[in-house]
Amino acid sequence: MATNRGQRFNEIEACVDEVIRRVGKTIRLGLPLGIGKPIRFVNALYQRAKNDPEIDLQIFTALSLLAPSGSSSLEKRFMGPFAERLYGDIPDLQYARDSSNNQLPPNVQVSEFFFKAGSALKNKPQQRHYISTNYTHAARDLMSQGINVIAQMVSPGEVHDAPGMVSLSCNPDLTLDLLLMLRESEAAGSPVAVVGEINRQLPWFGRDAAIAEDQFDMMFEDESSEYPLFSAPQMAISPADHLIGFYASTLLKDGGTLQLGIGSLGAALVHSALLRHKNNHAWKAVFDYLKVAEHFPLVEKEGGTGPFEKGLYGCSEMMVDGFLYLMQEGILRREVYDHAGLQTLLNNGDIDDRVSLDTLDVLRREGLIGSPMGARDVSWLTRYGILRSEVEFRDGRLYVGEQVLDADLDNAEARGAIAAQALGERLSGGVAMHGGFYLGPQKFYQSLRELTDADRDRICMTSVNYINHLYDHRFGNQHLKAAQRIHSRFINTAMMYTLSGAAVSDGLEDGRVISGVGGQYNFVSMAHELPGARSIIALRSTRKTQGTRVSNIVFNYGHCTIPRHLRDIVVTEYGIADLRGQPDEQVYLRLIRIADSRFQQELLSRAQKAGKVDAAFRLPAAWKNNTPEAIAKLFSDTGGDEWFPAFPFGRDFTDQELVLGKALRKLKSETATGRGKLSTLLQAFRARDEQGCYTEFLQRMGLHQPSGLREKLDQRLVIHGLKLTENPPDTGNSKL
């Protein structure tokens, strides 16, 4: 068994050789989820396994990201230039591409515990090998599969005055725990290998994410690994999504805690929170128009309507770019400290972040320090900036440079000297954001690289078990976590929600997995454990399937992610349903209240037939205006188009691509059924661009000079789609 660590390699094949020398040809490889995968190393190891059938390679991971390619010929034409622009310099993750195409060799198996939403729906091997686990249990469950190699992309420390250190940066979430577990396995006699791949494009984070380089057995460094990070482009926020985000923003309590995830619903919440803080008059105009206080009194009790004077603290398994926007605008600024007693005093208002002699008196009263102060007291006080960092304790006295001070807090003269020469100005060492991993657009990564040292130090990337769990063996201080996470709002999304209060977020009733449980269950259950915490499920009220509009609030469904006994708050574009502690009849009615009006009567009838709602109940008139037309009127009456733009945080799509994307989505919707496909083809066959209005769009799609029947048909389809969406030829002024 090899024990030497910290070996450097600049040839990837030599690195693979060393892994095989250490653990043999039975390799159980654990990889970080998302962008932390060391692509050069993984590709080399996978290629070695393809070339050598004696190698038995199993890969355990989540979120294996690939550049989009599209399925139909039109989608491929649309996505090709876009993918090249965003991902052309990033090497393809070869095992993921082969797995996606059902082309893995027989000696390689890939098991994931979280898919990119919908990516594996039709992939039978991926469905068979999927591992269902809570995020907090993922490290444990991967180790039970016999992991003997872990590999991760890391950021080097030399440019951040941290020689000999590397940063796990985007993925300390599982690696911090897996490292400990793997070393325990090694100590018990099992050969292991821990591989790092240096990439200077990866933003540096210190605190828990910074570890000694010699914790890795081998480190690969080469210019070929300095590739850009895989990005998740900004998606458009629809008016309905904006309203969901708006309602959710009314439930944020100033001075509280925030968790949210990626996607347009999370972005909509961030945008509305920024609007509430920076343009409160506009935010309140929408609030009053919707009569939120009248219809949903929960807001007055649990939320707020004013700017965030105290600020929020972020505690989220995923640090999305929205948290950075909240930090930049002064909302994400409530800092927490890693001492439960100190944090509790801050929460109660006994002290604040400004330091004075009163601070010392309160700490003494609570038994956190003594008088005269001793060595332990001084060390503790300097750690949090209550005493200046240069203060030292020797021989029973305080030394500040050449000054020697009495440490007795009962001595008036000593108190004056301490106040003048030893006290700090403000508490230090606080954290405004705890995150487990991050993923976002390129602009987000660039902003992370450009953070000031002070702002970077306010972010602690750490183990997912610290963030998602109150009770665990490694971070067992649940009293500290509870003190930090006051007024928590855990905001997650679901695909469907049943009238009995169960959330459907990760799979279908036939057993196929859409994405994964991830941390959703952890946060929902934590909301029921923490005083003052609430779980908020954000849900679009409807979706279109097979060309037909259907309700996402359903009577029942054959699969659930969150069971009904953990029901709490549900938000749609039509309002807020407070379900916690309510009898079933109220749960059913409150959900019907925020359903699309086209489906309310059917839902009510089924509930009444099942005996869950009084047969005499009739839908109130005030409930019957839950329509897209009402949303459009709201935006028209309140100037919502100005305050709720489709891309508040920038976009990666060009004007042309936005127009084309809308046309292609319309075509896809129109051809969802056999009859619709035939009708669309007949109409497209007659479509012409006689005026040359769509030339630039056809050029973008490579269809301005079609050759062959397929290209000619594709051209006609694009023209027909553009006409269906009534897009003007001049996109320079497009507000899309």
Is position 645 within any domain? no
Burial string for 504-515 (b: 16+ CB within 10 Å, else e) reads bbbbeeeebbbb
pLDDT of residue 732 exceeding 70, the answer is no
Report the share of the chain in percent with pLDDT over 70: 98
Is position 166 within any domain? yes
pLDDT of residue 177: 95
Residue 3 pLDDT level (bands cut at 50, 70, 90)? low
514 in the same domain as 560: yes
pLDDT of residue 532: 96
pLDDT of residue 728 exceeding 60, the answer is no
Is position 327 within any domain? yes
Contact 560, 511 (CB under 8 A): no
- What secondary structure does DSSP assign to 237-274, as a single string? PPHHHHHHHHHHHTTPPTT-EEE--SSHHHHHHHHHHH
pLDDT of residue 77: 93
319 in the same domain as 255: yes
Is position 638 within any domain? no
Give the residue among 509, 481, 498, 586 at the shortest CA–CA distance from 537.
498
Contact 245, 269 (CB under 8 A): yes
574 in the same domain as 454: yes
pLDDT of residue 120 exceeding 60, the answer is yes
Helix axes 655-670, 674-685, angle to 10 degrees: 130
560 in the same domain as 464: yes
Length of the chain: 736
Number of DSSP helices (H) and strands (E) in the chain, helices first: 30, 25
pLDDT of residue 734 exceeding 60, the answer is no
For the purposes of burial, counting CB atoms within 10 Å of the CB of 318, is it exposed (0-12), middle (13-18) or buried (19 or more)? buried
Is position 640 within any domain? no
pLDDT of residue 642: 85
More confident residue, 639 or 557: 557
Is position 40 within any domain? yes
Task: Write the pLDDT tens digit of every residue in 28-79.
Answer: 999 999 999 999 999 999 999 999 999 999 999 999 999 998 888 999 999 9
Q: What span, in angstroms and rounded, lies between the C-alpha atoms of 67 and 81?
A: 11
**What CATH number does the domain containing 477 carry?**
3.40.1080.20
pLDDT of residue 433 exceeding 80, the answer is yes
Give the residue among 474, 477, 433 at the shortest CA–CA distance from 456.
433
pLDDT of residue 546: 82
Residues 6+ apart with CB under 8 A from 504: 494, 495, 496, 497, 498, 557, 559, 560, 561
Task: Write the pLDDT tens digit of every residue in 361-371.
Answer: 999 999 999 99
pLDDT of residue 475: 61
Mean pLDDT for 374-398 is 96
Split into its structural domains, the chain has a count of 4
Mean pLDDT for 7-15 is 95
607 in the same domain as 486: yes
pLDDT of residue 735: 27
For 198, the enclosing helix (H) or strand (E) is strand 193-198
For 445, the enclosing helix (H) or strand (E) is helix 442-449
Would you tell me how many other CB atoms lie within 10 Å of the CB of residue 10? 13
Residue 1 pLDDT level (bands cut at 50, 70, 90)? very low
- Residue 313, SS3 per DSSP: strand
Task: Write the pLDDT tens digit of every residue in 603-661.
Answer: 999 999 999 999 999 999 999 999 999 999 999 998 877 899 999 999 999 999 999 99
pLDDT of residue 672: 82
Is position 713 within any domain? yes
pLDDT of residue 161: 86
pLDDT of residue 476: 62
Residues 6+ apart with CB under 8 A from 159: 200, 204
515 in the same domain as 463: yes
pLDDT of residue 69: 86
pLDDT of residue 731 exceeding 50, the answer is no
Among 171, 190, 225, the domain boundary falls at 225
Cis amide leading into 645 (omega within 30): no
Mean pLDDT for 510-531 is 96
Phi/psi-derived region of residue 682, left when phi > 0, alpha when psi is between -120 and 50, beta in every other case: alpha
pLDDT of residue 474: 66
pLDDT of residue 609: 98
Mean pLDDT for 394-417 is 95
- For residue 708, the 8-state DSSP code is H
**What CATH number does the domain containing 96 carry?**
3.40.1080.10
Task: Write the pLDDT tens digit of every residue in 219-257.
Answer: 999 988 899 999 999 889 999 999 999 999 999 999 999
Mean pLDDT for 112-137 is 95
pLDDT of residue 297 exceeding 50, the answer is yes
65 in the same domain as 94: yes
622 in the same domain as 551: yes
Of 478-487, 514-523, 701-710, the least confident: 701-710
More confident residue, 472 or 440: 440
Report the share of the chain in percent with pLDDT over 90: 86
508 in the same domain as 366: no
Q: Rounded to whole angstroms, what are the CA distances from 25 to 8, 93, 108, 147?
A: 22, 21, 12, 13
Dmax over Cα atoms in the chain, in whole Å? 95
290 in the same domain as 174: no
Is position 428 within any domain? no
- For residue 654, the 8-state DSSP code is -
pLDDT of residue 547 exceeding 90, the answer is no
Q: What span, in angstroms and rounded, lies between the C-alpha atoms of 392 and 395?
A: 10
Contact 500, 607 (CB under 8 A): no
513 in the same domain as 660: no
Task: Write the pLDDT tens digit of every residue in 456-493.
Answer: 999 999 999 999 988 876 666 899 999 999 999 999 99
pLDDT of residue 729 exceeding 70, the answer is no
311 in the same domain as 352: no
pLDDT of residue 692: 87
The domain of 398 spans: 340-421
- Quote the mean pLDDT of the chain: 94
